[in-house]
Amino acid sequence: MYETERKELVEILRSKGISNQRVLDAFLKVERHLFVPDIMKQHAYKDVALPIGLGQTISQPYTVAYMTQEIDPQPKQKILEIGTGSGYQAAILYELGGRVFSIERHNDLYNSAMKMFDKLNLKIAARCSDGTIGWDEFSPYDGIIVTAGGPTVPINLKKQLSVGGRLVIPVGDKQVQTLQIITKISEDEFQTNEVPYFAFVPLIGKEGWKEK
Ligand code: SAM
Ligand 1, residue 64: give the atom nearest the CA.
4
Chain segment 18-33, per-residue pLDDT in tens: 999 999 999 999 999 9
Chain segment 75-128, per-residue pLDDT in tens: 999 999 999 999 999 999 999 999 999 999 999 999 999 999 999 999 999 999
Domains detected in the chain:
3-198 (3.40.50.150)
Looking only at the bridges linking them, the beta strands covering 56-58 and 78-82 are unpaired
Other CB atoms within 10 Å distance of the CB of residue 133: 18
Largest CA distance in the chain: 48
pTM: 0.97
- Tell me the average pLDDT of the chain: 97
The reported pLDDT for the residue numbered 212 is 72
Distance CA 97, CA 32 (A): 18
Chain segment 117-165, per-residue pLDDT in tens: 999 999 999 999 999 999 999 999 999 999 999 999 999 999 999 999 9
Ligand 1, residue 85: give the atom nearest the CA.
14
Q: Is 186 a catalytic residue?
A: no
Q: Is the pLDDT score of 211 beyond 90?
A: no
The protein residue whose alpha carbon is closest to atom 20 in ligand 1 is 203
Cβ contacts of 66 within 8 Å, gap of 6 or more: 18, 179, 195
Distance CA 3, CA 195 (A): 32
What's the 3-state SS for 47-84?
CCCEEEECCEEECCHHHHHHHHHHHCCCCCCEEEEECC
Q: How confident is the model at residue 67 (pLDDT cuts 50, 70, 90)?
A: very high
